[in-house]
Structures are given as structure tokens and as C-alpha cells.
Structure 1
């Protein structure tokens, strides 16, 4: 069987090889195009504005985890669009975050603690809406080293 050099995984492979690296990149590119469409709709722009207004543009992760007030620049989908497009415009599925918190959360999503992080995000939204704020500011901590999540006692 003829062999070739795969540009995705950089291995010598059979000519009919389907590279998982290339397939993943194509899937990611396809999803990002679909996501871009969502972010340009009037529905998204309205939802984004409503979320910033409702939460005073406060990064809820920094508020409850770090005990700091940071400006939210990103509206994050707790359940990602590529997992469930029907939740793209769902008010209950989005949370305001700073760029740093957003990056951290996506790193945590790649660990075994993804579901725990999602639960925390939903809980932070509810706490903020229920006016559980200053007494809880900084109460929840996270150490990404080892991806341990916990609560300060």
C-alpha cells in the first residue's frame, strides 16, 4: 500500500489515512463559522446587552471566586453552542465574564471538572440574581493546578 506524509499528525501513514487532527481542525472551523453567524444576529446583540445590564457588567467568576470586581467583556455560553445550538439565545445559559476568566473557564472545561464548573457558573448567576453578593464575594476559590475546585470555609 502506498504511503504518504500526513500534514496533520506529521506521521508516515497509508495513503487512505483519515487524520483525526485535520478532521478536528475542520470541525472547529465549521463550528466557528456557525458561531460567528449567531454572534452577528439581532437576537444575540439584544441578549448580550440585557446580560451586561442585568449583571452590571460584573465578571461573576472573579466576583465569587477571586473576590475582585472585574468588568465583563465576554458573554459566555455555559453549555457551549457546539453542544446545543438551541441554547445559543437562552438567557439562563449565558454568564458575563472577563477575558481572563473566560480563558480560565475554557481551560477548566478541558478537565474532568467541566460539569462542576458549569454548576458553579449556574450557581453564581442565581446568587447574583438573589442579591447574595458581598457576603459571598470571594467565598469560592479554585486552583487550576490539579484542577481542584472547592469552597472556602
Structure 2
């Protein structure tokens, strides 16, 4: 008998897909996202940055609403910073994925840039595309999004 796997196509049954990533809802970082302290810090961070996606502003030069926050210092690296408002970077889902792609290659430098973007916004510096050249220099590749992974 055949079955359809969304990753592998039509395959023989039983099929155990090597491409499917199993979600681990017991991971420590998953529990943190449901905590009241994180939810409060997240709401405060989004409000502090006026729900502006800082990546879109400083890299792509456009205003776009921020719908979520990215932990600059990742939860698994330092759980104590999980609910620290100063560690939360407002962004959109699309740019969040791009930030994670950049982290895979240039984590430390990317973290420094995100902290700098937050500081600039709080200081009132809202210059569009201010960090585009930094991202281009970091990756060595100029694309429409500002970098390529």
C-alpha cells in the first residue's frame, strides 16, 4: 500500500519520514514562551518600539508592523534573559526567519547589530537602511533582502 508524505511524495507504507522534524513541546524554551513574565516583557518590548519591525526599518528601509519578538541572546544560551525586555528585538515573522538564518552563520556579529538597532531606535535615530551596509559587509553578498544565507 502507498501513502503520501508531504516531504517525500508517494512512498510505501509504513513510512517514517527522515525530513519531518518532531516538535518537542517539553523543551525549556517552549515553556518560557508561555510564561506570564515573558508575555509581559514581550508586550512591553513591542510597545517600547511602537510595534515597528526594526529589521525592516534599518536593513530594508521600510516601515512594517512587528508582530513578534526575537531573543537576541537566545533562550537556550541564557534562560535568565528570556523575559528581559532589553533582550527582545521586535520583528515580523518573515524577518524573524531571516534573522535566524543570519544567526546560523554570524551569530555574535548579528547579535551586536540587533542590540545596536535597539539602542538607535530608543535614542531617536530612525534612519532607514542605516544597517544595510553592515549586513552586506557581514555576509559579503548584496541581495534584495540585504543578505543571503
Under a length normalisation based on structure 2, what TM-score does the superposition of the two structures give? 0.72
Residue 140 of structure 2 corresponds to which residue in structure 1?
A: 148
Residues 131 and 82 of structure 1: is their aligned pair in 2 closer, same or farther, counting only changes over 3 Å? same
1:40 partnered with 2:34: yes
Task: Please give the secondary structure, in 2, of the residue aligned with 1:83.
Answer: coil
The 5 A counterparts of 1:83-122 are: 83-111=77-105, 113-122=106-115
Judge conservation of contact 2:71–2:88 (CA < 8 Å) in 1. yes
Cα shift at 1:75: 0.7
Map Cα deviations across residues 81-104 of structure 1 (whole Å, 9 max, x no partner).
Answer: 011111111121111011111100
For structure 2, the 5+ residue unaligned runs are: 1-17, 143-149
| 1:51 counterpart SS class | helix
Alignment deviations for residues 5-49 of structure 1 (CA, whole Å, 9 cap, x no partner): xxxxxxxxxxxxxxxx9xxx79x837x632221111111111111
1:125-144 superposed matches below 5 A:
125-133=118-126, 136-141=127-132, 142-143=135-136
Structure number with bigger Rg: 1
- TM-score normalised per structure 1: 0.70
Aligned residue pairs total 121
Unmatched 5+ residue regions in structure 1? 1-20
Secondary structure, aligned partner of 2:27 = helix
Question: Separation in 2 of the partners of 1:120 and 1:87?
Answer: 18
Deviations 1:99-151 (A, max 9, x none): 1111001001111x221111110000000000011xx211221349x82389x
Moved over 4 A (4+): none
- Over the residues paired in the alignment, what is the CA RMSD in angstroms? 2.6
Query: How far apart in 2 are the matches of 1:120 and 1:72?
Result: 18
Local SS of the residue matching 1:103: helix
